[in-house]
Structure formats: C-alpha cells, structure tokens
Amino acid sequence: MDKIAQISNQFIEENTHFPKLINEIQKAFSSKKTIAPLRHHHDFPNPTTGADTTLLLMPAWNPSEDAGVKIVTISPENVQFDLPSIQGTYIYLDATKGTIKAILEAKELTAKRTAATSALASSFLSRTEASSLLMIGTGALSINLIKAHASVRPIREVFIWGRNFEKAKALSKTLQNEKYTVTPVQTIEEKIKEVAIISCATLSKRPLVLGKHLKPGQHIDLVGAYKKDMREADNETVTKSSVFLDTYQGGLKESGDIVIPLQEGIIQESDMKADLFELCAATKKGRTSKEEITLFKSVGHAIEDLAAANYYYKKYTNA
C-alpha cells in the first residue's frame, strides 16, 4: 500500500495561492463529474459548555478518479478553551481502489476553500471596480476572506469589526504588510454605508447586516450562520438584494439567513437568482447592473472540499 500523505495546516497555509485555488473550485462547479450527496448535519448536546456541538459529514467523489469525506465539528464555545470553533479532518481517497491517499487537517482546508468560494462568487457578483471591504468577524475565516476577496477585486481599503475590538486591532496588525490598508472599527454602522463589499463570518444569532444601511451597488457575502436559528442579515437586507446561493441543496435548508425569511413568507424559493453551479456553467447571470445589491449565502459544499484536497495533494506530491 502506498504511504498515506499527512498534510498539515501549516503546509496548507504556506501553499495557498488563492487565484489558483479559486480556479480549481470554479472548474469543479462548472463540471458535472463530481457527485456530492447532501451532507450529514447533526447537533448534539455539550453540557460542559452549555451550547450544542455540530457534527458535519461531507462526502464527494469523482468516479474512478478521487473521492473524500470531511469530518467536522463546530463548537461555538471553544473560545473558553482557547481553540477555534471549527475542528476537523479530511480523508482523501483513491476512488478506484478505495485506498486512502492523504489525510488533511481540515481547519485550514475549510478556511481556505470557504474563502476561495466567497471570492469565486464575488467574481460574478461584486462590481469589477470594488475597492473597499468591511470584514465583520475576527475568527479564523476573516484573514482568509480578506485575502481571497482581494485576489479577485482591486481592494485598497479594508475595515474590520469584531465584538472584541482588541482582536480587530490585532488582526489589522497581522495584515499591515498587505497591499491594502487595514483599519479596525468600533461599530459596523460607521463603515457599512461606504464599502463596496461586506463580508460577514460570525456565529451570530441576530442580524448584524441591516438593510437600512445598504446602498446601491454593494455586494454582501454571508459566510456564518450555519444553523437555522442563526442570522447575519435581516429581512430588509434579503428583500433589497438579488440573492445567490452556493447550492440550492444546502442554501435553502441549513441557514437562518434564508430559512427564516422563507418561513415568514418574506421571500420565495423562486426568488433565488442562481447557485454556483449555474454561475460557473454560465447558464445564469450574476450581477446585471451597477446599482443592483447582490447577496451570496454560503453554507459550504463537499465539492469545494474535494477540489481543495486535490489541489493541496498535488502540491504536496508535486504532481
């Protein structure tokens, strides 16, 4: 049996070129080769922290080529253990023999592929001249989202807001040598009206992006709110926007950002403009005017993981 590659978070961090990773994910969505059943989503009690832990199982395969499954836990109260909320492993397989080709640490794999997917959506949905970004959230995804968005748009100004202002300041310092300026802000309201792109990656249960603050031409990237009782944007944001999903399969069922307004009759499933399969295959259009407000809701998909695992495996083996 061939030796199983062990691909660490550090390797993934040091070997990510967002334009190339975005291209790999775009090819995966535009192709009809990859099969990905609806992911398993299970919440189980965590009495120690007082908040449920979520277990996600995300399989995908290209027949006779490659396959894989990601096992992820999301524990919102991991901050008390000084740990990221997302923990996991990706098992990358030979789809012909069923053997394991690699085991990848899923923390950075998930962060990179999620950020790359948001940037892929932005390439269809934000204005081509978009030069400013408000990052809402200071978790593990925030730096990756900033870098990924800046790889597809000419970002010159970034503003960061988090519940802990000190974390926002620390994040800004980490990015001080990038090609754009990075400024921590005390409130969302002070910059949300000014920026071209708003990216939100939090575990919030109440809306942080409010429609009353939005202006024509903005693009909203919602990455958090992975459960039905979580929301990052209010109803006014959704009704003001042209709404796009990573997939109909997950986007219509898993996140409160879409599920709650659907249940309340604020929007209908037919109001969804397109998903990434349609955008990448050019069967539906993204942004259609400079004044349009676009909203992309990401819940994550196994196709993204498999494309990313293949990307890093080839890097690791110099294939």
Quick one: pLDDT band at residue 198, thresholds 50, 70, 90? very high
The rounded mean pLDDT for the chain is 93
Q: Is the pLDDT of residue 6 over 90?
A: yes
- The verdict on residue 118 lying in a domain is no
- The answer on 225 and 270 residing in a single domain is yes
pLDDT digits (tens, 9 = 90+) for 11-21: 999 999 999 99
Burial 5-36 (b: 16+ CB within 10 A, else e): bebeeebbeeebebeebbebbbebbeeeebeb
Compute and round to an integer the Cα radius of gyration of the chain. 19
- The verdict on residue 236 lying in a domain is yes
| Average of per-residue pLDDT across 200-213 | 94
| Average of per-residue pLDDT across 68-77 | 90
The residue among 236, 239, 233 whose CA lies nearest residue 255 is: 233
User: Given this model, what pLDDT does residue 146 score?
Assistant: 98
- The answer on 212 and 84 residing in a single domain is no
- Which of the listed ranges 72-76, 203-207, 238-242, 299-303 does the model predict with the highest average pLDDT? 238-242
- The answer on 162 and 261 residing in a single domain is yes
Residues in a beta bridge with 41:
56
User: Given this model, what pLDDT does residue 123 score?
Assistant: 98
Q: Is the pLDDT of residue 156 over 80?
A: yes
State how far the Cα of 315 lies from the Cα of 159, in Å rounded to an integer. Answer: 33
**Residue 90: CB atoms within 10 Å:** 24
- The answer on 147 and 40 residing in a single domain is no
Q: Is the pLDDT of residue 39 over 90?
A: no
Quick one: pLDDT band at residue 127, thresholds 50, 70, 90? very high
State how far the Cα of 287 lies from the Cα of 143, in Å rounded to an integer. Answer: 25
- The verdict on residue 289 lying in a domain is yes
Provide the residue range defining the domain that includes 78: 5-109+303-317
User: Given this model, what pLDDT does residue 319 score?
Assistant: 62
Burial 100-119 (b: 16+ CB within 10 A, else e): ebbbbbbbbbbbbbbbbbbb
Model's pTM, two decimal places? 0.91
- The verdict on residue 85 lying in a domain is yes
Note whether 167 and 186 are within 8 A (CB).
no
User: Given this model, what pLDDT does residue 266 score?
Assistant: 93
- The answer on 164 and 55 residing in a single domain is no
| Average of per-residue pLDDT across 293-297 | 98
Strand locations in the chain (E) = 5-7, 40-44, 53-62, 66-74, 86-94, 100-105, 132-136, 157-161, 181-184, 197-200, 219-222, 242-245, 274-275, 294-297
Structure tokens at 304: 């993204």
| Average of per-residue pLDDT across 80-101 | 90
Structure tokens at 96: 């012909």
The residue among 74, 75, 76, 107 whose CA lies nearest residue 89 is: 107
- The answer on 232 and 86 residing in a single domain is no
- The answer on 260 and 128 residing in a single domain is yes
The contacts of residue 128 (CB under 8 Å, 6+ apart) are: 153
Structure tokens at 33: 């080769």
- The answer on 161 and 258 residing in a single domain is yes
- The answer on 156 and 57 residing in a single domain is no
Residue of higher predicted confidence among 253 and 202:
202
Number of domains in the chain: 2
Cα torsion 185, 191, 197, 202: sign: positive
- The answer on 136 and 42 residing in a single domain is no
| Average of per-residue pLDDT across 283-298 | 96
Structure tokens at 5: 């590659």
Phi-psi region at 36: left, alpha or beta (left = phi > 0; alpha = psi -120 to 50): beta
Q: Is the pLDDT of residue 86 over 90?
A: no
Q: Is the pLDDT of residue 252 over 90?
A: no
Q: Is the pLDDT of residue 211 over 70?
A: yes
